[in-house]
């Protein structure tokens, strides 16, 4: 069966930062994400994990690596905008084209983002590439 997004979906980021702040959330990280962040802020890989990340419990008893949040729920790298935009994590670069948001037309249409459904037409191939990139760069996971 053909994916509902095969003919593309409209999306243009409005730079509202709603997905980066004000509400609790998680930005899961791959090893490549941590490496890119380390290069961007000129720190060691292990220092990024220690200073900017947390381990989040997931079903099954494992933990996955995520960025920390500030006490007001802003992303640790948000300060009047993304301070690591060129090297932002894959989850941020591929938003809103995640499995959870393009699972069905209903999940897409229920997305609370002012840029979803508007602006640039993103091809079905582009959306599929976003989904495939997450498979190629899995979230770092550990058993505590």
Predicted confidence at residue 22, as pLDDT, reads 87
Distance CA 9, CA 42 (A): 37
Predicted confidence (pLDDT) per residue in 11-37, tens digit = 999 989 999 998 888 999 999 999 999
Short-list 88, 76, 49, 45, CA closest to 65: 49
Domain membership flag for residue 3: no
Domain membership flag for residue 4: no
Domain membership flag for residue 62: yes
Predicted confidence at residue 64, as pLDDT, reads 98
Q: How many domains is the chain partitioned into structurally?
A: 1
Average pLDDT over residues 111-123: 95
Domain membership flag for residue 42: yes
Domain membership flag for residue 83: yes
pLDDT band, residue 81 (cuts 50/70/90): very high
Distance CA 5, CA 57 (A): 31
Predicted confidence (pLDDT) per residue in 125-144, tens digit = 999 999 999 999 999 999 98
Domain that holds residue 33: 9-142
Distance CA 36, CA 33 (A): 5
Domain membership flag for residue 31: yes
């Amino acid at each position: 069966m053909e994916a509902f997004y095969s003919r593309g979906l409209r999306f243009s980021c409005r730079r509202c930062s709603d997905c980066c702040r004000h509400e609790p959330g998680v930005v899961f990280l791959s090893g490549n994400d941590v490496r890119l962040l380390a290069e961007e802020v000129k720190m060691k890989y292990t220092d990024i994990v220690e200073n900017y990340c947390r381990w989040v419990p997931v079903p099954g008893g494992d933990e996955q690596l995520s960025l920390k949040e500030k006490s007001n729920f802003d992303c640790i790298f948000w300060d009047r905008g993304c301070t690591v935009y060129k090297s932002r994590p894959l989850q941020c670069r591929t938003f809103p084209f995640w499995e959870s948001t393009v699972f069905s037309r209903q999940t897409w249409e229920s997305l609370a983002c002012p840029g979803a459904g508007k602006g640039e037409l993103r091809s079905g191939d582009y959306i599929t590439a976003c989904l495939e990139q997450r498979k190629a760069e899995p979230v770092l996971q550990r058993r505590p």
